[in-house]
Chain A
Amino acid sequence: MRKSWWKILGVLLLVYTFIAGLLIEVPRNPQLQETIRNLFFHVCMWFGMMILFIVSFVRAIMYLRTNKHIHDIASRQYAGVGILFGVLGYLTGAIWMSYTWIDSNKSIFNSFDSIAREPKLIGAAIALLVYAAYLVLRDSIQDIDKRARISAVYNIFAFAMLFPSIWIIPRLLDSLHPGGSQGNPALDPGSASANMRLVFYPAIAGWTLIGVWIATLKIRMKIIHEQKLSQ
């Protein structure tokens, strides 16, 4: 095993998140109640996704500049783990919203018509689908160099699509989701107490480091695989 301080740090931060995340005092919000603790899990998935997509984007540019195959492999694997985190963020969000956004006079199913119009959900779905198309596009090209170049260019486009779909448009529109037209959903001092931020920031770092660890494992596996093919 490649021993690295950041792998240990990531695990320790997650252990801290799991313990402190359940034990610290949280604001008594009548709508969220104890589910406010989901901040340390659901929101961190999105932060992890964004950071992994940024790494993927940087590696795509590095591939285009240097034409080194390793950057193409890295770009693909970071995007893959980023999509995994995004899907987990979406699923956890679906569970959370089923208990906090529903109209208590209607069933979950019947209040879905208003939830389905949420700009944040639509924006996140667009962003994830654009990245899903990245995987489809990549695997549809046989030639290795062509695949690497086209997918690197598409990766830059997919990253650019994150700006309108999750960082701009959902924040201009009103939404049930925190941080609609008032600002940032997670970093807004009004929605998370100082106490919670003591756990929230380490949680982001911990989840992201675990994501990076998984991505590096996949990259190393891919390299071994390709070496075997070329022998």
Chain B
Amino acid sequence: MKKLISFSTLIFFAYLAKAQDVKMADIMKENGKIYVVIAVMLTILAGLVLYLIRLDRKISKLEKNK
């Protein structure tokens, strides 16, 4: 049993080490700064969509005036 546990922990750490080989933005996810990026991107998206909606409304108004 003991051997099995030590073996499986070894495998586990080997797996972790392999996963950490490639540098990813793990810190950004840990401290939640990634949400700041998402907030900025969503704000830009919201601005563009609002612009499209306003344009759509204006065109509809022009179509009604015909």
Contact = CB atoms under 8 A, between A and B. Distances in A.
A18 B23 CA distance: 22
Q: Is the interface of A mostly helix, strand, loop or mixed?
A: helix
Contacts, number: 55
A187 B56 CA distance: 34
Given A14-B45, A224-B63, A227-B66, A28 B56 contact: no
B59 A221 contact: yes
B52 A18 contact: no
Interface string A200-224: 0000000000100110010011001
Interface string A1-31: 1100001000100110011001100101110
Contacts of A213: 52, 56
A18 B55 contact: no
A207 to B, nearest CB: 11
Contact of B60 (A2, A28, A30): A2
A33 interface: yes
B66 A1 contact: no
Contact of B34 (A14, A22, A28, A217): A22
Instruction: Please classify how large the interface on chain A is, using the bins under 10, 10 to 19, 20 to 34, 35 or more.
Output: 20 to 34
Contacts of B37: 22
Residue among B19, B23, B55 with the highest chain A CB neighbour number at 10 A: B55
A34 interface: yes
10 contacts: A2-B56, A11-B45, A15-B42, A18-B38, A22-B41, A23-B38, A28-B19, A30-B21, A210-B52, A213-B52
Cβ-closest 10 pairs across A and B: A28-B22, A1-B56, A1-B57, A30-B22, A18-B41, A34-B25, A220-B59, A224-B62, A11-B49, A1-B60
Given A18-B45, A26-B24, A28-B21, 15 more contacts: A1-B57, A2-B56, A11-B49, A15-B42, A15-B45, A19-B38, A23-B29, A23-B34, A33-B23, A33-B24, A34-B25, A213-B52, A214-B52, A217-B56, A224-B63
